[in-house]
A = this chain, B = another copy of it.
Amino acid sequence: MTAPLHRPRPGTPDTQQGMRRRNLSRVMHAVAAEGPLSRASVAGHIGLTRAAVSTLVDELIRAGLLEELGPQRPGGVGRPGSALGVSGRGPAGLGAEVGVDHLAVCAVDLRGEVRTRAELRVGNRGRAPGPVLSDLAALVRQVAEEAAAEGLRPAGLAVAVPGLVARGTRTVVRAPNLDWHDTDVSALLPSEVPLRVDNEANFGALAELWLAADSPADFLHVSAEIGIGAALVVDGQLLRGTRGFAGELGHVPVRPEGPACPCGGRGCLEQYAGEEAVLRAAGVAPGADRVTLLAERAAAGDADTRRALRGAGTALGIALTGAVNLLDPRAVVLGGALSHLAPWLLPSLERELTRRTATPTDGVAVSRFGSDGPLLGAAHSVVRAVLDDPMGVAQAA
């Protein structure tokens, strides 16, 4: 549940033991990303000798993290080696999401497959954190039991929340759309496994990084829901900010004398492109499944809806111009519920971005995970922690 082990902290002396842990992790990552692989292929991937890899592999097989899949299919050079795969039993990652209108939990195995999932539609706005997290705990128990029936053992639980989480803690400092303040999730959500809590935009960006086939290692991920967040990935790592509050795209000033925002500012992006602002501009009353309704109206050619989405796209383009100038990401990815409205948001968004930036990026892509990104990213963050320190997890079990 810490930073990947292949990046030792500056100042930490190298040791044989640390080296061995990093090499075990490299074997797991290679097989997870490229497998099935023979021992020789693993050695080629990570630049160690076959003998060294064999010792590492034996240890990982004994711990139940890798398994022999039998002889590889012919076609390679030399005699066929036995293929190695990541185990589909053993450690699994539990991901959970606290949404404004729903709760969700899933279990993902070390191969990256979602093995079980449960969801509850429930209005959480203004509800106290205790009852919300009690409902979530019931869902977690249900999913853990279903996972156990398939031979899976939760290695950790990661919870995505629509708010700011203080870096290195499990405390939600501020979640305006839930009306939570300084909520210590770990106190209200008892967990038998290591618990991590993070902002939904961060987990959404990690899902994109880890799971999208063609994801670059540097991009800005926009998570547009009722609130608008963002997360910047640099060299395959999240830029979290000093306090963990980076990515507050929703409060970038778009028109500095514009409408007042609950954050204390004026004319913030959320005042133009957040779900409530878009509904208001389109003349649609708030409620459940409003994004679906907006998409239907826009597809049917409704002029008010289309104008509202054009305006939201323009505001997104102005705020993203600032972000692109400051951050120079390779790409901008639009995720979250509003990504389902991309056909009507993107034209005005891209027009602003193109005409305002002298050196534009590769353009704006739409996430294929939509509103599922945060939940998947949460579960996979636990899986990655196992791959980053496989024996640490095996020993803890």
Interface pick from A75-83, A137-145, A323-331, A367-375: A323-331
Q: Does A114 contact B (CB under 8 A)?
A: no
A248 contact set on B, CB distance < 8 A = 325-326, 328
- Contact check, B326 vs A326: say whether CB atoms are below 8 A apart: yes
Given A46-B11, A239-B239, A252-B321: A359 touches B245 (CB 8 Å cut-off): yes
A251 contact set on B, CB distance < 8 A = 321, 325, 356-358
Question: How many copies, total?
Answer: 2
Contact with B along A59-88 (1 / 0, CB 8 A): 000000000000000000000000000000
Q: Is the interface of A mostly helix, strand, loop or mixed?
A: loop
A218 to chain B, nearest CB (A): 5
A360 to chain B, nearest CB (A): 10
A272 to chain B, nearest CB (A): 11
CB interface residues, A 1-24, toward B, < 8 Å:
4, 6-8, 10-14, 19, 22-23
Closest to A244 in B: B328
- Contact check, A327 vs B357: say whether CB atoms are below 8 A apart: no
Q: Does A266 contact B (CB under 8 A)?
A: yes
A342 to chain B, nearest CB (A): 22
A interface residues, Cβ below 8 angstroms from B = 4, 6-8, 10-14, 19, 22-23, 26, 46-48, 164, 173-174, 216, 218, 230, 232, 234, 236, 239-249, 251-256, 263-266, 318-319, 321-323, 325-330, 355-359, 361
